[in-house]
Amino acid sequence: MSTPEQRKRLRAFNAEHARVAERWRKRGFQYPPPEFPILPEDLRGLTCGAKTRKGTPCKRKDIYDSGRCHLHGGLSTGPKTPEGKAKVALNGRCPKRRLEAKPMGS
């Protein structure tokens, strides 16, 4: 189980890790690799901890920044912006490819 304070530190760690990786990516992954931050001891093996249908806490360790696994609220909640909503509205439609190929309004 993770406390809000631990989740906050995990988020900060993930952000720092992503920054280092991004800088390395911009260098073209050249040797030597950068010094990646090391995950603090107390943040290792945090579990999701959500209540399962059985009533026991979830034991999954592959948690997102939210502190929950992908089965318990870790996934995306969908598009929020009007552009994103318009994009997903095209999903599952057969003439989608034709719509994309043509510029809008022609």
Cβ neighbours, 10 Å, residue 63:
21
- At 36, list the tokens: 């990646």
Which residue lies nearer to Zn ion by CB, 71 or 89?
71
Cα of first residue to Cα of last residue in the chain, in angstroms, is 55
Which residue lies nearer to Zn ion by CB, 9 or 60?
60
Instruction: Identify residues 15-74 at the interface with Zn ion (CB under 5 A).
Output: 48, 50, 58, 60, 69, 71-72
51 forms bridges with which residues in the sheet?
57
Q: How far is the CB of 96 from Zn ion (least distance, A)?
A: 34
Which residue lies nearer to Zn ion by CB, 14 or 66?
66
Cis peptide bond upstream of 32, omega within 30: yes
Residues that bind Zn ion (CB under 5 A): 48, 50, 58, 60, 69, 71-72
